């Protein structure tokens, strides 16, 4: 399964719904894209549509934000500042991603070849101030 869509930011909720529909079977979502491409904005939109009422912020400095949702926990990682896999071992990263809870991972490049699970690979490309291209692939 693969989608490629160009969208304006005021239509992000439609893109979010595509992701929500996939979360039922795929719990890990890898978000790739340049700084400012809209990774955190997309996560905010998805969580809002899922019914998360907490303020959703970028975990750039905390590395991990946690949101309680219904009977699950949603984990939101930002690995931008991670320099080596040992830093992730210290926080128990594998425990989170193999927990059966939903995990959004921004800047996942350092872990892509080190995990063994099904995930959504989402690449967001900045086209202009209001337009983005998104490519969504399901990876087994």
What pLDDT, on the 0 to 100 scale, is given for residue 84?
93
Q: Round the average pLDDT of the chain to a whole number and report it.
A: 92
DSSP, collapsed to helix, strand or coil, labels residue 104 as strand
Place of tokens 């872990």: 111
pTM for this prediction: 0.93
Range of the domain at 60: 2-139
Convert the pLDDT of each residue in 59-82 to its tens digit.
Answer: 988 999 999 888 789 999 999 999
* 23-54 tens-digit pLDDT: 889 999 999 999 989 999 999 999 999 989 88
Lowest mean pLDDT among 20-24, 80-84, 119-123: 20-24
Q: Say yes or no to pLDDT of 1 above 80.
A: no
Q: Are 8 and 133 in contact (CB under 8 A)?
A: no
Spatial contact of 136 and 108, defined as CB atoms under 8 Å apart? no
Which range of 1-5, 59-63, 105-109 scores highest in mean pLDDT? It is: 105-109
Which CATH number is 18's domain given?
3.40.50.300
Contact 100, 9 (CB under 8 A): no
């Amino acid at each position: 399964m693969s989608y490629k869509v160009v969208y304006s930011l005021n239509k992000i909720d439609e893109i979010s719904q595509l992701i929500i529909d996939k979360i039922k079977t795929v719990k890990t979502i890898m978000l790739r894209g340049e700084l400012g491409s809209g990774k955190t904005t997309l996560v905010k939109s998805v969580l809002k549509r899922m019914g998360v009422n907490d303020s959703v912020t970028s975990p750039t400095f905390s590395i991990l934000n946690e949101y309680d949702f219904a009977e699950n926990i949603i984990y939101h990682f930002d690995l931008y500042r991670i320099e080596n896999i040992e830093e992730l071992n210290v926080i128990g990263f594998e425990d989170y991603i193999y927990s059966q809870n939903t995990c959004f991972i921004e800047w996942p490049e350092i872990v892509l070849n080190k995990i063994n699970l099904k995930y959504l690979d989402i690449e967001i490309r900045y086209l202009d101030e209001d337009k983005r291209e998104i490519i969504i692939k399901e990876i087994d």
